[in-house]
Chain A
Amino acid sequence: MPAPTPALAVRGLRKAYADVVAVEALDLEVRAGECFGLLGPNGAGKTTTIEICEGLLAPDAGVVEVFGMQWARDGNSLRSRLGIQLQETQLSEKLTVEETVRLFRSFYPAGRTVDEVIGLVQLDEKRKARVGTLSGGQKQRLAVACALVGDPDLLFLDEPTTGLDPQSRRQLWDIIDAFRNEGGTTVLTTHYMDEAERLCDRVAIVDHGRVISLGTPRELIASLGAGHVVEFGVDGSQDIDERTLLSLAGVKSARRSGGRWALQVGAAHETIPLLLAELTERALPLTELSTHSPTLEDVFVTLTGRSLRDDV
């Protein structure tokens, strides 16, 4: 049996603006039915990549195939199979929620009913409200409704939850989950690790226009080989150096940022007593100590030496 056609295949993608290279030799393959995350800091090239995949930008080099079709040849039939939410779209403020969804529905030859989509994004109570009166979370759900109304096979979401409150984020996550459970394919960009871990079957970590790591969130975290991350701070922490920390049993890496040390360790309960003993010996007072399971954030930090949140 031949391998099923991927929902999205990108090979050797390159895009430069004036003097900045936004995307450089980028490869991706998104399987039908999965939720795929492009994770990276702002300016990593996520939006450029996703807009090339959406047919909105032409790449300088490389191939993009959506359901085995290419934009130059099959643009029109592709557009009716995609649902798209762009990062910065402002829908017309004078129209109501219902009018906006109905307008977008009219562009598609087939799709969901207006009522169904409004129900899906839980905007029933706001259906007669002008777009201008909606909150940020409601506007974002409306944007997703407009992306879903054509009953797409592939949904592109560019930073769908950026700037939203926690409750609105969870509502959007539920909508994306529901779409995935129906067999739809989702490609989303985000710089929130928790979002990628929560939603995505697979994640590509993107930095400086390249994919620097690819896998399921679990695989990526496991690749660190660390059971726990121990974070601590001390008064006058200059007094302890990286070499000392790495010499403690079980410490795989040590990194200092913002006055705190983060140690990736095999097992927290083995390393913490050694760390405390070391600090006591040096008469360094501990100001804080915490431990967590490794996250995609730790993966990103390990790969790039920078924090995802640094420039957010």
Chain B
Amino acid sequence: MTSDRMVDRATRPKNTAGNTPAIVQLTLSRFREFYREPEAVFWVFIFPILLAAGLGIAFRNRPAEASHIAVVSSAANNAVVDSLKTAPNVTVDVLDDTAATAALRTGRVALVVIPRADGGVEYRFDEARPESRTARLIVDRAVQHAGGQQDPVRTTDTRVSERGSRYIDFVVPGLLGMNLMGSGIWGIGFAIVDARKKKLLKRLISTPMSRAQYLASFLIFRLSLLVIEVATLIGFGTLVFGVPLRGSFIQLVAICVLSSLAFGGMGLLVASRARTVEGASGLMNLVMMPMWVFSGVFFSSGNFPKVAQPFIQALPLTAVNDALRANMLQGASWNVVGHEIAIIATWLVVCFTLALRLFRWR
């Protein structure tokens, strides 16, 4: 009786209609899981723009700022004050000795000028403060000119502000690199560890699903988001701050795609064994922290000591930031960015190989 039923079952027609390929469904799932999580959308798209805007405003190129100085009031100060009032870019406060010292200490003035009874002038300032050194030079020049000094050499000033050498030009490629790293490592690592913790990975591998297609869906998802991420950040930098795009477009795309895949590989590696989201988060921060600090996102990685440079230059984010800056700011040729591209590609290969070897589905 039961065996008859079995025969019916084995020979009955199988329905193969109405099916979409698994890779399409898997990739669609990645997108749905992403855009149905508003926080993720914020961190990936909005946050880098807010950061770029904030930094762009804070470090915008301003006209030369006036030096604030204090002159200590005394019988002899009138001539000095008069000479300083005609000097360009200097604002003068006339204060008594105590008030002037307090103003210097709190940073309200950069320099305290103390006229002496003998006609000389004393400057009081902190040599470690650049604006104090500048103020001293300006004030001394005005005082000496008032005293009758003549310039032996005639000079002229031509003022320039070049796009590509401002802070915002430096920081936009850095933010782009940081964003590629963050979304690559978080975007892939977090989702996979979460699926493992919820035993969803285990459930998936109990079906005939292709494991390669499952992992590929994350990469396709990453590369699709990449287009939007890069376009928003670069578009914002270019339109609002006039950040230059001097390099070849193909080269920029190649750098971004390669970087995104390399960081995706790192995310996969971090997620290959971790069983809890907390454990994976710690691991991800451990991986990303050195790069946030050393890889030249907000300031040049050249600021770190020479001994640390081989380590810093080997970090993937350093290579990504250098390559992006070389492309966007200098319009570098392939030869110039070849070294960075080789470093990124090495990370990509090493991370993926290790990740696939170590990966646990259960």
A→B interface (CB under 8 Å): 4, 7, 31-34, 54-56, 76, 79-80, 82, 84, 86, 88-92, 94-95, 99, 102-114, 130, 146, 150-151, 153, 182-185
Contacts and interface: CB of A to CB of B under 8 A. Distances in A.
Contact of A104 (B9, B14, B207): B207
Q: Which 3 A-B pairs have the closest CB atoms?
A: A33-B2, A183-B5, A110-B14
Contact of A103 (B26, B36, B208): B26
A56 B362 CA distance: 8
Nearest to B191: A92
Interface secondary structure of A, over-half rule:
loop
7 contacts: A32-B3, A102-B20, A106-B22, A106-B25, A150-B207, A153-B10, A185-B6
B15 A102 contact: no
B206 A82 contact: yes
A107 to B, nearest CB: 4
Contact of A86 (B6, B14, B202): B202
A107 B206 CA distance: 10
Contacts of B209: 107
Contact of A106 (B1, B3, B9, B24): B24
A109 B208 contact: yes
B151 interface: no
B215 to A, nearest CB: 14
Interface string B1-45: 111011011100011111111101110110011001100000000
Given A106-B20, A106-B22, A113-B15, A153 B37 contact: no
B207 A183 contact: no
Nearest to B205: A56
Interface of B: 1-3, 5-6, 8-10, 14-22, 24-26, 28-29, 32-33, 36-37, 195, 198-200, 202-209, 362
Contacts of A130: 36
B32 A107 contact: no
A92 B6 CA distance: 34
A90 B202 CA distance: 11
Contacts of B18: 113-114
A94 B36 contact: yes
Given A56-B362, A113-B18, A183-B5, 11 more contacts: A56-B206, A89-B198, A89-B202, A95-B32, A102-B25, A105-B19, A110-B14, A110-B15, A111-B14, A150-B207, A185-B6
A104 B204 CA distance: 8
Contacts of A4: 2-3, 6
